[in-house]
Amino acid sequence: MKRGDLLLLLCCLALAGALLLPNVLAAKPTQVKINGEAFSLSQTQTVARSGVVVEIAQGRARVRTAPCPDQLCVHTGWLTHSGETAVCLPQRVSVELVGGKTAVDGVAF
- In tens, the pLDDT along 2-59 reads 888 889 998 888 888 888 776 666 667 889 999 989 999 988 999 999 999 999 999 8
What phi, psi does 108 have (nearest 5°)? Answer: -120, 140
pLDDT confidence bin for 97, thresholds 50/70/90: very high
Give the type of residue at 92: R
Structural domain boundaries in the chain: 31-98
Sequence-separated (6 or more) residues with CB below 8 Å from residue 54: 32, 34, 46, 47, 48, 61, 62, 63, 64, 93, 95
Q: In terms of CATH, what superfamily is 31-98?
A: N-utilization substance G protein NusG, insert domain (2.60.320.10)
CA distance 94 to 52: 10
Tell me, what's the pLDDT at 26?
Answer: 62
- Give the Cβ contact number of residue 67 at 10 Å: 12
